[in-house]
Amino acid sequence: MALKSTTANGGDTRPKVLIPEKVSPDGLRLLQASLEVHERKGLNHEELQAIIGDYDALIVRSETKVTADLLAAGKKLRVVARAGVGVDNVDLNAATKLGIIVVNSPQGNINAAAEHTIALLMAVARNVGEASASLKAGKWERSKLVGIEVKGKTLGIIGLGKVGLTVARAAGGLGMNLAAYDPYANPSLAASADVELVPTMEELFSQADFLTIHTPMIASTKGLIGDAELAKTKPTACILNVARGGIVDETALLSALEAGTLAGAGIDVFTAEPPQSGDAASKLIAHPKVVATPHLGASTVEAQENVSIDVCTQVLSILSGQLPRSAVNAPIILPEEYRTLQPFVTLMEKMGSLYTQHFSPANAAQRLRTTFEVTYEGSLASANTTKPLFAALVKGLLSPISSTESLNINIVNAELVAKERGILINESRSREKLEQEGYSASVTLKARLDTRSPSASRVKQDPLNSNTPSSSSARQPKIDEQIITGFVSNNTPYIGRLGRFSTSFIPEGNMLICRNYDEPGKIGEVGGRLGRAGVNIRSMTVAPIEVSGDSSLKKVDSVVQSGEGGAKGENEALMILGVDRAVDDEVRKSLIRQEGVLEASLVTL
């Protein structure tokens, strides 16, 4: 999809990206060719909220609080990109609900954060901060500022993920003994870095000369280290935090330093940034045993270049309909795979929309509260993921009843939306080969109708308003099975089965689908009525063979006829007409009154 476009009067309609923080120009240059890039630093939350509605993408670092109300105001927003690792400043649940993809740069600044941790480790061990301040103040205090060596000391790592492991390797190079507490750590990665995994945080605290924190800020790590934990450290130990403020309780840390139960701290991150005067964080910063930096872990030229290029590339991917590399709230699928699935994505959306319009036009929202069985057949059964197909189906099912809601359905939120709507979709795969059918993959969508439900068995519907025939119909036709099969041929989606009828038509544009007795004259009658209403027939497919079971499925070639239908008798046929414009409902109803036309549905696909 081309991103650049102009309006008839020459105005710029390129998607817009808002960048309210300092993001390296290396990535922004990539955006400039196809997006309108607005760098707007220094906006407060209200100002941001007032303008976010104009933007398709938002790129932030750690300062912008991407809250639920900000996301809700971002009516056009499709992606929030975090130029860094931690996404604790983004309301992921709200983004997921709104179908907004959140991406980050999981690798770009890891080395910078690890090196900064080592910088703080050495600064704390050798009193670098205090020594520098003292010298600048004109003092020469050599004996007061004697430090300790880290070689031979134990570094206790809390959170042995990407940064934790990088710190471990560097600290190993400094001759430190390494131990870590991380209940989810990969033991072989730990072993490869000579890190001993310990089963409890308590054990780590009792061994460590230096403790360093590298967990994410999530509900379970908020206040992870408080009074009780700090009481277990050696009095000579020092603690480092380059992860997130609030993982170590700042008041508890201050008390431990003041009580002398902890020897020092190196802190890069704070609960509130910047800290407010008088709060525990600002007292920590002023404390002589603390070396503090203003959230500089990722602030290197190299890291900023990395994260900027990483997230800007992902923004471009998303805005051009591709999948990003590092979506935080969406399943990752490879672009290659996405391309293979793309024609089926279109097919699934059409099948879902056809289902709602053809089988449950009356009170569709309520009738969609059902269980669907979707079977991916043939080569599609080997797809690594069916997430995009699932999302397209949900989008298609809902688009006829809620075009605004369905617009925002994507792989991020499809499951959630379906659940909230009471739509249950069971997916299965059938690897049976389909070569004899002339295509390699197909999908079958089947609504599982609960025949035991008293209300279902009592259903008696007006054929003028629904496709389920009335029991009062003179000839008592069979109730349609709610099945649709689709396939893709030459990258074009086809419907191969609709209800009990085997067919082959391209689901596109305005279509009139009539079920009638397979008797001579039906096509002429319908054609004549449409002609009188000024509706032009562009294509016609007749599916005269009734399908009684899967094994009896027979393909019917598309036939364009002007006159006769099929054989006489109780056999039914489907007549699928592609028409040049939407048919009035009055015209549709008048068709049903004609002898032998049992039902007629209008669909737009």
Ligand X SMILES: O=C(O)C(=O)COP(=O)(O)O
Q: Does 74 bind ligand X (CB under 6 A)?
A: no
Short-list 428, 395, 421, 397, CA closest to 410:
395
Q: Please identify which residue in 24, 109, 502, 503 interacts with ligand X, judged by CB under 6 A.
A: 109
Instruction: Enumerate residues 129-158 that contact ligand NAI by CB under 6 A.
Output: 158
Task: Give whichever of 58 and 224 is closer to ligand NAI, judged by the CB atom.
Answer: 224
Structure tokens given for 423? 């739509």
Q: Is 273 a catalytic residue?
A: yes
Q: Which does residue 61 touch among ligand NAI, ligand X, none (CB within 5 to 8 A, set by kind)?
A: ligand X
Residues near ligand X (CB under 6 A), total: 11
Burial class of residue 235, CB neighbours in 10 A (0-12, 13-18, 19+): exposed
Give φ, ψ of 119 to 5 degrees: -60, -45
Q: Give bridge partners of residue 604 from the DSSP assignment.
A: 510
Task: Give whichever of 110 and 513 is closer to ligand NAI, judged by the CB atom.
Answer: 110
Instruction: Enumerate residues 232-251 that contact ligand NAI by CB under 6 A.
Output: 242-244
Task: Give whichever of 241 and 502 is closer to ligand NAI, judged by the CB atom.
Answer: 241
How far, in Å, CA of 315 to CA of 323, rounded?
9
Binding window for ligand X (CB under 6 A); candidates: 82-90, 482-490, 492-500, 586-594: 82-90
Instruction: Enumerate residues 158-177 that contact ligand NAI by CB under 6 A.
Output: 158-164
Instruction: Enumerate residues 53-72 that contact ligand X by CB under 6 A.
Output: 61-62
Residue-by-residue DSSP string for 512-534: EEEEEES-TTHHHHHHHHHHHTT
Q: Give bridge partners of residue 374 from the DSSP assignment.
A: 427, 445
How far, in Å, CA of 239 to CA of 181, rounded?
15
Which residues, other chains included, contact 516 with Cβ-Cβ below 8 Å and sequence gap of 6+?
522, 526, 565, 572, 573, 575, 596, 597, 598
**CB distance 524 to 562 below 8 Å:** yes
Binding window for ligand X (CB under 6 A); candidates: 27-35, 77-85, 143-151, 174-182: 77-85
Q: Does 84 bind ligand X (CB under 6 A)?
A: yes
Between strands 371-378 and 290-292, the pairing is unpaired
Annotated catalytic residue: which of 39, 273, 415, 525?
273
How far, in Å, CA of 335 to CA of 350, rounded?
22
How far, in Å, CA of 257 to CA of 252, rounded?
9
Q: Does 61 bind ligand NAI (CB under 6 A)?
A: no
How far, in Å, CA of 471 to CA of 476, rounded?
6
Binding window for ligand NAI (CB under 6 A); candidates: 212-220, 322-330, 373-381, 581-589: 212-220
Minimum distance, C-beta of residue 156 to ligand NAI, in the bound complex (Å): 11
Calculate the alpha carbon distances from 329 to 96, 99, 410 in Å.
Answer: 6, 9, 11
Q: Which residue is nearest to ligand NAI (CB)?
A: 161
Distance of CA 336 to the CA centre of its chain: 18
Burial class of residue 338, CB neighbours in 10 A (0-12, 13-18, 19+): middle
Minimum distance, C-beta of residue 62 to ligand X, in the bound complex (Å): 3
Task: Give whichever of 327 and 498 is closer to ligand X, judged by the CB atom.
Answer: 327
Would you tell me how many other CB atoms lie within 10 Å of the CB of residue 65? 13
Q: Is 244 a catalytic residue?
A: yes
Structure tokens given for 156? 């206790």
Distance of CA 13 to the CA centre of its chain: 25
Q: Is 295 a catalytic residue?
A: yes
Q: Does 298 bind ligand X (CB under 6 A)?
A: yes
Q: Does 111 bind ligand X (CB under 6 A)?
A: no
Binding window for ligand X (CB under 6 A); candidates: 81-89, 178-186, 385-393, 557-565: 81-89
Q: Does 85 bind ligand NAI (CB under 6 A)?
A: yes
Q: Does 299 bind ligand X (CB under 6 A)?
A: yes
Minimum distance, C-beta of residue 437 to ligand X, in the bound complex (Å): 51
Annotated catalytic residue: which of 78, 82, 214, 244?
244
Q: Which residues bind ligand X (CB under 6 A)?
A: 61-62, 83-86, 109, 295, 297-299
Catalytic residues: 244, 273, 295
Q: Which residues bind ligand NAI (CB under 6 A)?
A: 85-86, 109-110, 113, 158-164, 181-182, 184-185, 214-217, 220-221, 224, 242-244, 268-269, 295, 297-298
